[in-house]
Amino acid sequence: MKKLQPPVFVVYDGECPFCIRWVRWIAKTGSVNSTFFVPGKSEAGEWLVKRFSLAGLIDKTIVVISDEQAYIKSEAVCALLNLRGGLWKAFAVFCLFPRRWLDGIYLAVAAHRQHLSRNNSCRLPLTEPPLSIITTVAAMKKLSSWPDELRHSGTRNGK
C-alpha cells in the first residue's frame, strides 16, 4: 500500500461507540497531525459520501480518504496501521493476506461492533485525546487542494 498523502480524512460512524473508540485509538499518536476525523452524518461526511460514491457504506465501514482516493473495509484499516506507525505498523504484515479474507474478517467485526463496545452509550465525548474533527465542507476544503469536481471518484475496494 502506498503511503497516505496529507491531508488524510477518516470518515466514521459518529454514533457507534466502537467506531468512536477506534478514532480515539488512531489519534493517540503524534504521527497523525495531518489526519482529520469526519463523522459520516455531518455535512462534510455527507459531501464525501457523495463525492466518492460511498452511499450505504458509512454505517458499515470506516473510510480513509487520501490523495483523492477512498479506502474502505480492511484496506482502510491497513492504511491506518501504516499511518499509526511504531509497533502498530508491524501489524500491517497481516495486510499481505488476500483482501477477500481480510474483508471477511472486517465485515464480521463490523456486524458485531455494537456488542464489542464495553459501553453502548453513543454519547462518548471526543475530547481525550484532542482530535481534529471536521464537520463542515468549508472547513474540509480549506485543508485540501481538491478541485470542485474530483478527477478520480470511487473507492479502491468496491462496494
pLDDT in tens, 98-143: 989 988 888 888 887 767 666 554 444 555 545 678 887 888 777 7
pLDDT tens-digit map of 18-41: 888 878 877 776 555 678 889 988
Residue with cell 456488542: 115
Q: Amino acid identity, residue 67?
A: D
pLDDT of residue 31: 56
pLDDT of residue 145: 63
pLDDT of residue 32: 56
- Are the C-beta atoms of residues 5 and 108 closer than 8 Å to each other? no
Write the DSSP string, 56-123. TTTTT--EEEETTEEEEHHHHHHHHHHHH-GGGGGGGGGGGS-HHHHHHHHHHHHHTHHHH-S---S-
Q: How many CB atoms lie within 10 A of CB 126?
A: 15
The three cell numbers of residue 45 are 461526511
Q: What are the boundaries of each domain within the chain?
A: 8-143
pTM of the model: 0.77
Q: Which residue has the higher pLDDT, 27 or 152?
A: 27
The answer on pLDDT for 68 being more than 50 is yes
